Chains A and B, each alone.
Chain A
């Protein structure tokens, strides 16, 4: 496989190309481009990059509560006393936490599943951090669980699965509203998105003052 993509590369070069092409979304062409970019890189920059890689491996752990990636045993969100401990928002990936934090609209805690149920790829509930979530729900004082999985079939399957598992525990289970994305034209919306947007429609407040916060 790799031998024909890099027929004449020197062994260290071939090794780096090979390493890059194992990254998600990087094909042989991009791996070559990245490698030749790095060959021209100043030594200090290359060292900084290598050091950054190593320290990610050495220093990054999963938060013992929410399983987000962190440098500390308990992450900044979980150890922040001002966060609302009665709510947990369930997301698929650490990057989803970043996205939600950027909104500054959520004050509760998180739980990172590290994936979604994907039966066709043989990924079931066992491979996700669901058991850890159930442990938290048993120990902590959570009253609302917000499902924020991706709005696709596998994300929905994961949410439905969690809903069935957790509703009997007497915890309120909610999910993010799904609908039209801002900036998109209605005519391009697919039928699922439109149906969801209709289902999640909200009454237009006529008399209320618009808040200017």
Chain B
């Protein structure tokens, strides 16, 4: 069958999901540049003192030696390239890191090369470790991810009729995959999300720029809300169901680093 394949290969990877396997093993979902998402087992990784264990935690950027298997690959060696320590020691950054990791994993196909998605994720986790605008990063990431994978929302012209959009407020349809002009918005019964002129400008800016260029962009509260709804409905319609880690992100988003818990501890 595939006799040409070597049975040992090395690859860079980011650990995106794991589950326990057997007594002390772990099963990992890894994003790699050349093979997209692969699943591999890490023997003994849950035992203290395991040579693998500390390197293969979630969101670790690692270099791996992997034995090729028919169903599952096996990790024989792991070295950390970057554990993004600032991301994992801060609940706000961590919740966003898991969110972009989940997006990358859910949109990637098993065993299909994804060098651009991989690079995007690694760079974004690096930025996430230092940026003060983690929410902008998540939105920029989602838009860039959709663009790379061919699911870019139409932001220039009306997605239905192709007519150029007047510089004005419009609406966004996730089902149709873009902005709609006034005459097309009444066609169909899909959910429409408001997109003010300001929102549209920010979305276009995010879509064509690299993160450092938009990092300190000042986005108004109403624009933020609109962009959030537009991007979430768009990614959900591309991925097929809700992004699981978004709930946690929303829960910890507005928690201050110290001080009282907002809303107090629920007394009900």
Name A residues whose Cβ lies closer than 8 Å to a Cβ of B: 24-25, 117, 119-122, 124-125, 131, 134, 152-154, 156-157, 160-161, 164-165, 167-169, 181-184, 188-193, 195
Contact = CB atoms under 8 A, between A and B. Distances in A.
Contacts of B245: 119-120, 122
A203 B44 CA distance: 33
Given A117-B248, A161-B91, A24 B20 contact: yes
Contact of A164 (B23, B94, B255): B255
12 contacts: A25-B21, A25-B22, A25-B23, A119-B98, A119-B249, A121-B244, A160-B90, A164-B255, A169-B265, A183-B49, A191-B83, A191-B85
A192 B54 contact: yes
B252 A161 contact: yes
B165 interface: no
A160 B91 contact: yes
For the complex of A and B, the 4 pairs showing the least CB-CB separation, nearest first, are A190-B54, A119-B248, A119-B245, A184-B49
B188 interface: no
Given A160-B94, A161-B91, 13 more contacts: A120-B101, A122-B245, A134-B265, A152-B57, A153-B58, A153-B94, A157-B95, A164-B91, A168-B260, A181-B48, A183-B49, A191-B80, A195-B85
B176 interface: no
B258 interface: yes
Interface string B225-268: 00000000000000000001101110110010011110001100
B88 A153 contact: yes
B31 interface: no
Contacts of B35: none
Contacts of A120: 16-17, 58, 98, 101-102, 244-245
Contacts of B248: 117, 119, 124
B99 interface: yes
Nearest to A131: B266
A191 B58 CA distance: 14
A182 to B, nearest CB: 8
B261 A168 contact: yes
A117 B252 CA distance: 12
A122 B255 CA distance: 20
Nearest to A164: B255
B95 A119 contact: yes
By secondary structure, the A interface counts as helix
B39 interface: no
Interface residues of B, number: 43
B243 to A, nearest CB: 9
Contacts of B90: 160
Given A189-B54, A193-B54, A164 B261 contact: yes
Contacts of B258: 167
Contact of B244 (A122, A134, A169, A193): A122
B122 to A, nearest CB: 16
Contacts of B89: 156, 160
Nearest to A190: B54
Contacts of B83: 190-192
B247 A122 contact: yes
Contacts of B21: 25
Contacts of A192: 54, 57, 80, 83, 85, 88
Contacts of A164: 91, 255, 261
B63 interface: no
B51 interface: yes
B85 A188 contact: no
A193 B53 CA distance: 10
B144 interface: no
A139 to B, nearest CB: 13
A148 to B, nearest CB: 14
B139 interface: no
B142 interface: no
B99 A119 contact: yes
Nearest to A24: B20
Interface in B1-58: 16-17, 20-23, 25, 48-49, 51, 53-55, 57-58
